[in-house]
């Protein structure tokens, strides 16, 4: 499968997107290292080749940074994982901007309130960052926790979404 790649600059640094031929985002993040994104894609969806091309998803990233915090939620994504992971990735897209959840709350949303580690794992294995906003999940003490693209980026995204 051939995939499309686009890269742009954001206030939080370089941002790269890998999408399938239909424009569904497979992986994205604050990096200029496309191979790092490819490794985050489920092996069954990992492309064999890449072609640079402007993407509608890039327009959504720009719109997000211009204040349309829901723009990325209108972009299709494609991920593969366990049933719980897939439910989790869908649930992440339902968390409103500016209203982050603790991992325990996120686990409860998934119907598995004691599966806090699994909830954290869902966030850690999320490939299309921003389009599936795993940055909206925090530790129980409201500290940032981890983020594949750095805690500073996570903090900046949350501040932008809260209007700070």
Angle, helices 116-124/83-92, rounded to nearest 10 degrees = 70
Question: Residue 32 to residues 40, 61, 78, 99: CA-CA distances in angstroms?
Answer: 14, 15, 21, 29
Asked if residues 110 and 119 have their Cβ atoms less than 8 Å apart, the reply is yes
Single out the catalytic residue among 27, 134, 138, 148. 134
The two three-digit tokens of residue 9, written as one number: 């600059």
β-bridge partners, 16: 7, 29
134 is catalytic: yes
| Distance separating alpha carbons of residues 115 and 36, to the nearest angstrom | 28
Q: Which residues are catalytic?
A: 134
């Amino acid at each position: 499968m051939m995939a499309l790649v686009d890269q742009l600059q954001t206030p939080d640094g370089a941002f790269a997107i890998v999408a399938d031929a239909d424009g569904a985002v497979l992986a994205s993040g604050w990096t200029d290292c496309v191979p790092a994104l490819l490794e985050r894609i489920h092996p069954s969806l990992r492309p064999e080749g890449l072609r640079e091309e402007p993407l509608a998803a890039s327009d959504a990233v720009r719109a997000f940074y211009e204040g349309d915090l829901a723009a990325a939620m209108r972009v299709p994504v494609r991920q593969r994982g366990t049933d719980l992971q897939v439910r989790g990735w869908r649930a992440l897209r339902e968390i409103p901007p500016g209203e982050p959840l603790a991992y325990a709350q996120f686990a409860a949303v998934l119907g598995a309130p004691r599966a806090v580690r699994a909830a954290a794992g869902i966030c850690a294995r999320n490939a299309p960052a921003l389009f599936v906003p795993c940055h909206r999940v925090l530790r129980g003490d409201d500290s940032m926790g981890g983020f594949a693209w750095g805690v500073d980026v996570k903090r900046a995204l949350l501040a932008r979404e809260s209007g700070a």
